[in-house]
């Protein structure tokens, strides 16, 4: 089953399909938000709103472990996630999309692993599933707007925006975009041997990249404008993903634990 973890701009994706049920799952890590299970043509899809419905959870308070584990309980083996991000470079403009291929983790207080009781060292040489990424890139050619094929996602703790000095540092060490929700989500999926890829929707320039002050209104305005294209990209990618998982994600735990 395909899973979607939606951030800003994609809460209405379920309306494109045939809703079967909506449920809250109890996991060892707490309850999930309401998960909508629906049919998109002949594909069964589970949609989980990352911030809960109404966007009432700040990024540092999201129960990432419960979210990812709930999808695993439903039989999800592939996750497409969306993330609203700020651009670290003027060449990557608000309204454009980026498919990240690596990340830098600057979060501080979030539970970041399922394995607190034993040593499991999961490999993240390719943190985002290469097969899912290629599907997104291929289908990105069919949407209205630019889709950048690679870049480093920087995740900060939030909920405040970043300082100009932090943005300058992120740029110097190779970051392309900055957001608050991508970690530890991508790593938790790998720990459960699930494929995971992200669509980063650029909603604004990060602090000091543009002279304009960052506001939430700006973020939501861009999300509203690009919602149709974002939904189309996810829809087409789900319909065109191969049935076979030809990637290392499905056996990520092999050799990861000390015997």
* Structural domain boundaries enclosing 167: 2-251
Q: How many domains are there within the chain?
A: 1
Whether 59 is covered by a domain: the verdict is yes
CATH of the domain at 154: 3.40.50.1580
Whether 256 is covered by a domain: the verdict is no
Whether 79 is covered by a domain: the verdict is yes
Whether 131 is covered by a domain: the verdict is yes
Runs of H (alpha helix) within the chain: 64-73, 130-140, 164-172, 185-191, 216-240
Q: What do you get for the CA distance between the two ends of the chain, in Å?
A: 31
What pTM did the predictor assign?
0.94
Whether 60 is covered by a domain: the verdict is yes
Whether 188 is covered by a domain: the verdict is yes
pLDDT tens string, the chain, 259 residues long: the values are: 999 998 655 767 788 889 999 999 999 999 999 999 999 999 999 999 998 665 578 999 999 999 999 999 999 999 999 999 999 999 999 999 999 999 999 999 999 999 999 999 999 999 999 999 999 999 999 898 899 999 999 999 999 999 999 999 999 999 999 999 999 999 999 999 999 999 999 999 998 887 666 666 766 777 777 888 999 999 999 999 998 999 999 999 998 886 5
Q: Cα–chain-centroid distance for residue 249?
A: 16
Contact present, 195 and 189 (Cβ < 8 Å)? yes
Runs of H (alpha helix) within 173-259: 185-191, 216-240
Whether 259 is covered by a domain: the verdict is no
């Amino acid at each position: 089953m395909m899973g979607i973890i939606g951030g800003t701009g994609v809460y209405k994706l379920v309306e494109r399909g045939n809703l079967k049920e909506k449920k809250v799952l109890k996991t060892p890590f707490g309850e999930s938000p309401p998960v909508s299970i629906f049919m998109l043509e002949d594909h069964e899809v589970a949609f989980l709103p990352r911030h809960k419905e109404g966007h009432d959870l700040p990024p540092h308070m999201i129960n990432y472990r419960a979210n990812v584990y709930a999808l695993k309980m439903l039989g999800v083996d592939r996750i497409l996630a969306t993330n609203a991000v700020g651009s670290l470079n003027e060449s990557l403009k608000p309204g454009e999309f980026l498919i990240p291929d690596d990340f830098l983790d600057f979060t501080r207080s979030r539970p970041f692993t399922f394995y607190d009781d034993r040593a499991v060292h999961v490999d993240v040489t390719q943190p985002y599933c290469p097969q899912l990424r290629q599907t997104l890139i291929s289908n990105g050619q069919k949407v209205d707007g630019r889709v950048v094929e690679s870049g480093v996602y920087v995740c900060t703790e939030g909920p405040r925006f970043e300082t100009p000095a932090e943005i300058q540092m992120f740029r110097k060490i190779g970051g392309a975009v900055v957001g608050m929700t991508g970690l530890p989500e991508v790593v938790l999926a790998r720990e459960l041997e699930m494929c995971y890829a992200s669509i980063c929707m650029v909603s604004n320039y990060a602090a000091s990249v543009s002279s304009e002050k960052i506001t939430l209104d700006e973020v939501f305005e861009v999300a509203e404008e690009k919602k149709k294209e974002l939904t189309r990209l996810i829809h087409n990618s789900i319909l065109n993903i191969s049935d076979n998982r030809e990637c290392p994600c499905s056996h990520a735990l092999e050799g990861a634990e000390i015997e």
